[in-house]
Amino acid sequence: MDIKEEIKKIAAEIGISKIGFTTADDFDYLEKSLRLGVEEGRTTGFEHKVIEERIKPKLSLASAKTIISIAVAYPNKLPVQPPKTDYKRGKITPNSWGLDYHYVLQDKLNRLAAAIEELTQDFEYKGMVDTGALVDTAVARRAGIGFIGKNGLVISKEYGSYMFLGELITNLEIEPDQPVDYDCGDCRRCLDACPTSCLIGDGTMNARRCLSFQTQDKGMMDMEFRKKIKTVIYGCDICQICCPYNKGIDNPLATDIDPELAHPELIPFLELSNSSFKEKFGMIAGSWRGKNILQRNAIIALANAHDRSAIPKLLEIIDKNNNPIHTATAIWALGEIVKKPDEVMLDFMRSLSLKDEASLEELELVRQKWQF
């Protein structure tokens, strides 16, 4: 029995788009870059904390010999557009359409492992999706899934960069695959297109400047980034949209997609309670940061859409002042949407009694803009 070929057959049957095999040798070459990222403050803080565990597979599985890397492709275009309504819509980027990819990948890894257990005795393994120790992109590159582009993403000819990645560290002895023989070449479209210049050009980035991170970070969003997110309330895929490898791809569905959740109505989104947010959006990947951060982004999106129908909702948020970050962001948004306020609005702003620093700063900026 050729176990490698059997595993590849099983992978195809359970909906794994691409599979590759590599050794469980250390990823020593990553250490310098990983440590430098931490020292220079370019990491998000969401990464696995112990760098040794990120580069040494045997620290995750002592008997490790082969790592099986899997990729599950996902679409970059909605199969059906949401209906037009009276509300402006925000955007959630494709990696968070449908069921949370962590569940999708974990299910496929579990099914793959269960099938391998039936093929061989004494099978030991540990499965990982991006919350695990290993660097998924490094594993995928070495296993021949694709190359790491200048945008830091794994790119394949078949599926572009729209792939979810995961791996099984195993005690199997399987002949490793080779890295792919294509790359970015001289192309630098993602470097030129990135609105925050967060890409360094060697496959690494200043992750704290990435708009995707900005939509997930807590607190006030820095002024520099607010207009740049446009109407996206979770994620960013500008560096994927412009990539030539993504032109013309038509990837299959990785999971069912509700277009209403992919492009949610912004004003109704601001009215969600914790329980209704969890009920409606709780199974998408973007929900992990919780309702409040995404609602902050929705307020910014309304300002960027210049949605005057949002003015009553913004005034309500400011008046209730239940969440200081929402209040401060709504004050900024009001200043963006309203160019010439009437006396009623000016009186409202004059009457505000705010104590938190962020709201006071935003109010002062609006005061200067409106000259009251």
Contact predicate 54/48, CB 8 Å: yes
In a domain? residue 277: yes
22 and 110, same domain (yes or no): yes
72 and 110, same domain (yes or no): yes
Q: Is 245 exposed, middle or buried (0-12, 13-18, 19+ CB in 10 A)?
A: buried
236 and 146, same domain (yes or no): no
Catalytic residues: 130
294 and 195, same domain (yes or no): yes
165 and 195, same domain (yes or no): no
In a domain? residue 85: no
pLDDT on residue 317: 98
Q: Over the stretch 36-77, which tens digit does the pLDDT of each residue have? A: 999 999 999 889 999 999 999 999 999 999 999 999 999 999
283 and 328, same domain (yes or no): yes
Q: What angle do CA 90, 190, 50 make, to 5 degrees?
A: 85
121 and 232, same domain (yes or no): no
Q: Over the stretch 316-352, which tens digit does the pLDDT of each residue have? A: 999 999 999 999 999 999 999 999 999 999 999 999 9
In a domain? residue 180: no
Question: What DSSP state is assigned to residue 252?
Answer: P
Domain end residue (candidates: 170, 204, 233)? 170
In a domain? residue 346: yes
In a domain? residue 177: no
Contact predicate 72/17, CB 8 Å: yes
Domain end residue (candidates: 170, 204, 223)? 170
196 and 165, same domain (yes or no): no
209 and 298, same domain (yes or no): yes
Q: Over the stretch 80-100, which tens digit does the pLDDT of each residue have? A: 999 999 999 999 999 999 999
In a domain? residue 181: no
**Which residues constitute the domain of residue 63?**
3-77+98-170
25 and 154, same domain (yes or no): yes
Q: Over the stretch 255-306, which tens digit does the pLDDT of each residue have? A: 999 999 999 999 999 999 999 999 999 999 999 999 999 999 999 999 999 9
pLDDT on residue 131: 81
In a domain? residue 91: no
Residues 146-152: what's their mean pLDDT?
A: 98
Q: How far is it, in rounded angstroms, from Cα 4 to Cα 30?
A: 28
Number of independent structural domains in the chain:
2
**In one letter, which amino acid is 226?**
R
Domain end residue (candidates: 170, 198, 220)? 170
Q: Answer yes or no: is pLDDT of 141 > 80.
A: yes
Contact predicate 113/122, CB 8 Å: no
Using a pLDDT cut of 90, give the percent of the chain over it: 98
In a domain? residue 35: yes
Q: Answer yes or no: is pLDDT of 1 > 80.
A: no
163 and 195, same domain (yes or no): no
Q: How far is it, in rounded angstroms, from Cα 24 to Cα 171?
A: 9
118 and 197, same domain (yes or no): no
